[in-house]
Amino acid sequence: MTEASPTALNLPQVDPLPPETQRYFDICVEKLGFVPNVLRAYAFDIAKLDAFTAMYNDLMLAPSGLTKLEREMVAVAVSAENRCFYCLVAHGAAVRQLSGDPALGEMIAMNYRVAPIDDRQRAMLDFAVTMTRASATIEEGDRQALRDHGLSDRDIFDLASVAGFFNMTNRVASAIAMQPNPEYHGQSR
C-alpha cells in the first residue's frame, strides 16, 4: 500500500534513501511510531532534508536556557499566528507530551494568553508573536523585557532563532499543503 503524499506537490522521495537517512527515519519509527511527514516532504532532496534536520535538531534539542517545552510552546504560538495546520498539530502534540497537560497545546494554539504559563513564558511568547507579526518593530525595550524575566542574551538569541525557524517552516508547510501525520492528533491525550 502506498502512503499518501505528505504535501500537495509531487516530489517523490529518494529511493532508496541513503543509509544515514534511512537510519534517521528508522529512529523516528522506533521513537514516534512513524516518520513525520515534514521529513518525508524534504526527502526528495537529501541535502535539503539534512539542512532542515540539522537546524531543527540544533534549535529544538540542543542545550539551551530555554527548555524543550518552552521551545515547543514558541513553535505553537508562532504557528497559531501563522495558522499553520501542520505545525499546530505536530507541535501541539509535543506540548501535550512534554507538559503532561492534554489541554495546554490547544490553549496555546487558540490563545496563549489564557494558558496557565508563568510570566517568563508569557513574555517569551509575546516576543515570538511580535517577531512573527512585525519583526522590524522589535526594539531594545522588547529585549530588556525578556532580560527582566531572567532570559540571558543567549536565551534571547535562541528564542529569536526558534521563532524565526518556525516562521519559515510555517510558510513552506502552508504553501505546499503539508499534512500532519494522523497519529499526532491522538498523542498525549
Domains contained in the chain, CATH given? 19-61 (1.20.5.810), 68-186 (1.20.1290.10)
Return the pLDDT at 187: 86
Contacts of 112 (CB under 8 A, 6+ apart): 73, 76, 77, 80, 122, 125, 129
Residues of the chain with pLDDT under 70: 1-3
Return the pLDDT at 1: 36
Q: Is the pTM of this model over 0.75?
A: yes
Return the pLDDT at 174: 97
Return the pLDDT at 3: 63
Return the pLDDT at 2: 45
